[in-house]
Amino acid sequence: MVKRESHSSDHLTGGSHRRIMTTKLATAIAAFFLLASIAVIIAIATVQVKRRTYLSPGLKYGIVLDAGSSRTTVYLYQWPAEKENNTGVVTQTSKCQVKGPGISEMNPGAWNSLKKCMEDIANAIPTNQHESTPIFLGATAGMRLLQQKSQKMSDDALLKIQKYLQTLPFDFHNASIISGQEEGLYGWITVNYLKGNFLEKNIWNAWIHPLGAQTVGSLDLGGASTQIAFTAPPDTRGADLIKVSLYGYEYNVYTHSFLCYGKNEAEKKVLAELVKMSSNSSRINHPCYPLGYNITIPGDNIYDSECTKNSIPPSYTRENQFTFFGHSDPAKCKTLVKRIFDLNSCQGNEHCSFSGVYQPPVTGDFMAYAGFYYTAEALDIKGSNSLEKFNSTVWSFCTMDWKTLKKNYNITEKHLKSYCYSANYVYTILADGYKFNASNWEKLDFQKEVNKTSIAWSLGYMLAQSNMIPAEAKLLKLPISKSVFATLLFLFSALTIITLMFLIIKLVQMFY
């Protein structure tokens, strides 16, 4: 009997031991799953928050028509939809030159060319973004002159082009005549934007304001007006100073536009000056034209302009013609060109350019483009050069006769005959007008493009307009999709709760 009881007691003790070991093992496994579940929940939550990225919502597009005095150019720009500090990071996508005259004299050929340009622009923009793509037209000095001559003619020309633009599948904003001051400011914005003076990418591919960046002055020469713009000291005040905010920074910009001092209109003023100085309309000596060249010009081509109407001779009739004979005389050409500038009103005043216009002293580097560049390119003095080289090159060019010029330069005769005048005009306005001299002439950089993008007011205009185009929020990209994240979170949360309850029950059983 005693032996049986002992065996039974041993059997009970062994079974109890096994149950205890099983409970401990189950508790250990439950504790492991609890800790693992908590770790997984923390891990996926951390990855979901810390590793999320933002994607650009895509690109926005904008179209600007630069309606100049002699031609119209269509530009297509694009920028990321989310923008940087309320200003778009804009790049030029394409450019189309409309063949024919400006919008004030549009003929059937010019209209067909414009329509072809707009077709090409439309093909470059995704179809689903046509309706959201803004289109602007800015008319410059040519239309400003027409407006002075006839408000009705100016309004009719704008209305006609506006009606056409409104038929296109884009978001038409406006067709307007921009002021000379706006044209100068937008040119300055373009130059500095392209030079990277507003923004640059750091090593993390983020846009930042360049440390210690200096802005560059802008010199624009069109057919009917010319513009100068540069930053002035913050405390400088005047009618031609504008506060402009770009990418979160504010700039104090001096800008002035001289109407009637574009290359083409200024040349009419030179011709009118020669007529006034001559007594024989059939033989007028022109020191800027090359020797051996002569041309007969209808009087309307000189005097049918707001810029020369006050120079009409007393006996002039619309039937008058004037014949000019070239003389290849650089000294007399320089003197002649200087006569069209009112420099006397600024004598003794260092803060004055010409015609009594206030101007702070020019400082820093300047980019000279458009007509400035084309003149420098023709004479092979583009880029930066000394004043001595500029003058010697101009002198050499202006002493050549017509036969030599045609032999040495592959330039159309229409333009070749006038480059001596153009070069002397460039010297006069820069040296006598804006007060550039031998010490700072090399700070002038005659260029057409920067980073394969045209230097034109239209890019600055698009940048300014992008301030008023609402930005779109960046698109959030999560490393784990929402559905997978929710499923994992539910499963491991459930596992955590179950294991935690299991451990609590076992803990209670141990003490009770």
Extended beta strands in 150-240, E state:
171-177, 200-201, 207-208, 217-221, 225-231
Distance from the first to the final alpha carbon of the chain: 34
Contact 303, 272 (CB under 8 A): yes
226 annotated ligand binder: yes
H or E element in which residue 326 lies: strand 321-326
The answer to whether 9 and 467 have CB atoms below 8 angstroms apart is no
Catalytic residues: 183
Checking 277-284 for CB contacts under 8 A at 24+ apart, the result is 281/320, 281/321, 281/322, 281/323, 282/322, 282/323, 283/323, 283/325, 284/322, 284/323, 284/324, 284/325
Three-state SS string across 235-274, please? CCCCCCEEEEEECCEEEEEEEEEEECCCHHHHHHHHHHHH
Q: Which three-class secondary structure state does DSSP give residue 337?
A: helix
Residue with tokens 């209808």: 298
Give the β-pairing of 475-477 and 53-55: antiparallel
Cα 381–Cα 396–Cα 402 angle in degrees, nearest 5 = 105
Tokens of 466: 């992008």
d(CA 447, CA 450): 8
Cα-based distances in Å from 448 to 219, 372, 374: 12, 9, 8
Owner of token pair 């082009």:
161
Nearest to 263 by CA among 219, 322, 321, 324: 219
CA–CA distance, 365 with 354 (Å, rounded to integer): 21
Residue positions forming the annotated binding site for ATP: 223-227
Residue positions forming the annotated binding site: 223-227
